[in-house]
Structure 1
Amino acid sequence: MTTTISQGNPASNAGLHGILFMVSAMSLAPFMDGTAKYLSAFISPVEVSLGRFLCQALVVLVIAVVMGRSISSLIKEITRMQLVRGACLAICSIFFFSSLKYMPLADAIAIFFVQPMILTMLSAIILKEKVGVRRWSAVFIGMIGALIIIRPGSSALGLPSLLPLAAATCFAFYLVLTRKLSGKASLLGIQLATGVAGVLTLTPLVIISSLLGFEAAAWTTPALPHLPLFLLMGVISFASHGCIVLAFDRAPASVLAPLSYTEIISATAVGYVLFGDVPDMFVWLGVALIAGGGVYIAHRERTATRRQMASEQLVETSPKRHY
C-alpha cells in the first residue's frame, strides 16, 4: 500500500490519508445499514432508500448554509455524470436494503464483499489500471468465496442472496465513477448531486408502485418516531460517502478496494447487538477467501508502489549528461 512511501513524500501522505478515509467510511456504513434493516420492517426498502437520499441532500444544504456556500453554486456543480454516479448508488441502495429485509446484516455484507473484486476488474477495463495475472487469480479466489457464502442450490440464503451481489456490482460502478470524477467538483457539490440523483431515481419508482398497488415499493407514511432515523441515515450517508470521495481523491481504486473488508467488523457488531445475528461457518469461510484475495491484491499494489518509487528515485539521483 502507499503507506510504504517515505513519510516526507507528499504522495505518501496523500495515500495514507486515502486509506484512513476509506477505513472510516467502511466503519460507518453498517450503522446506516442497521438502521435501514430496522425501518424495512415497517416500510418498503425503496422508500427507505428514498428517505436516505432526501435527508442526505438536506444535510448538504444545511452544511452549505453554515459554511456560507450559496445553493446556486452547488447546483452549478451538478453534471450529467454526477447524476449517473448518484443513480448507481441509488440502485445499489435498493438492492442492498431489500436484501436486509430477508437476511442477516453480516451475511448480506459478506456477499457484498465481492465488490472489491468487481472494482478491480472495472479498474482494469474502465480506468485502464494495470492488473496482472496474480491479481486476476485473487479475483477468482474471491468469487469462489462468494459462491461458498451464497451456496447456489441450497436453502440457506436462497434468491435474496443475489440482491447484495447486484448491489456490489452497482457500488463498484459508483466507485469507478467516483474515481473518474475525482477533483472535478467540491465535496459538498458531489454529495448534493448524489442526494438529488437518488431522489430523482427513486421518487418515480415509489409513485408508480403506489399507483399500481405494488406493495414492495409503494408509499407508506412513516410513523413519527421513525423520522429521526431517516435523518440519522442521511447524516451517516453524508459522512461515509464523503470519506469515500476524499479517499478516491488521494489513492488509486485498486489500492482502496481491499480496505472494504474492514466493514465486516462493525457490520458483525451492529448485526449482533441490534438483531442477534451471528454469521455461520460457511459465511466466515467465504469471507476468509474473499478477504484473502483482497489482501493479496493490496500486497501486489504495495510491491508495485515500491518498484515505482525505486525507479523514480533512481532517475532523480542519476547524473545528468550535457551534450
Structure 2
Amino acid sequence: MTRRGPSRVSSHAHGRSHGRARRDWGLAAALLAPSLSILGVFVLYPLGRAILLGRQRCDPSGDNCRTNGWHQYVDVFRSREFQQAFGVTFRFALMTVPIGLVLGVALAVLVDKQLRGMGAFRTIFSSTVATSVAVASLMWFFLLEPSVGVLADWIGGTAKNPGLLHSEGTALWAVAVSSIWANLGFTFIVVTAGLQGIPADLYESAYVDGASGWMRFSNVTFPMLGPTLLFASVVLTGRAFQSYGEFDLLTGGGPNGSTTSLTYLIYGNNSLIKNDQGLQSASAVLLFIVLLALALLQIRGVEKRVHYGN
C-alpha cells in the first residue's frame, strides 16, 4: 500500500483552505455590497462632489462659475462671514450642550427611584424625543413672538419689545432654549439607560460605608456614567453644529446675522452665499472637518478619564 507524501497532503490541504477563503470573501462581498452601495451613493459621492464644487466661485446670480483652485478653502475659512457664523455656532454649542447634559442627568437621577408615579414622569420627560425640530420651533415661536406669545406677555420688558427673537442680545439664547428642550428627551433616555447599567451593589457598599447622597452620586453614579456622558456629549455637539431648522423658523439668521450659524450660512434663504454653490460647498466641507476634529478631540481628550467598569 502506497502512502501519500507529506508535500502532496499539505498542498491538498492548502488548496482546500484557499478555496474556502475565496468562497468566504465572495460571501462577505455579497453581504457588504448593499451597505457599501448606500454608503457610496449617499455619503462618499456627495462628499467628493462637494469637495470638487468647493473649488468653484460663481457670480451673484449663480450662473457663471469659475475654478479658483484649492486655496479657495483657505479664503472661505478666513472670510468674515465664515468666522462670524463659526462664532455663532460655537457659542450655540456652548449654550446647549452643557445645559442639556446637566438637565438630562438631573431629571434621569430624579426619576431613577422605585416609587409610584415615576413611570408617568419618565414618559413626560422623554416625550420630546418624538417631537420634530419644526414642531418644537413653531411651539417656541408662538410662545416667544411678541404679537402672539404667551411668555412674551408674561415676562415683559425685552421679551415684549422688541422681543427675545428680535434682539441681538437674546435671539441666540432664545433659539438655544428651544434646542435644549427638543434634545432633552434624547439626553434623558440615554442617561436613564446608563443609570440602569450601574450595579446596585456599588450603591449598597457606599451606603454601608456611610456615604451621603451627594457622595454616592459623585463617587459612584457620575464616574460610572462616563461612557454615557461621552456619547451624549459627542452627539449633542454634532447636533448643535448641524442645527438648521431652529434658526430658519425662529429667526431666519437675524437680527443682523446674530443667529447665522454655519448651517444657515450654507442653506439659509437669507444667506449672503445662497446663490454660490462653490462657497456653499466649501463651507459644508469645512463644517465637516470641524465636526470631525471636535469629535476626535472629545473622544481622545475625555476617553482616558472615562471609567468603563472593567
Higher relative contact order (Cα pairs below 8 Å, separated by 6+ residues): 1
State if a TM-score over 0.5 links the two structures. no
Q: TM bucket by the smaller chain?
A: under 0.3
TM-score, length-scaled by structure 2: 0.23
From the two aligned structures, give the one with the greater helix fraction.
Answer: 1
TM-score, length-scaled by structure 1: 0.23
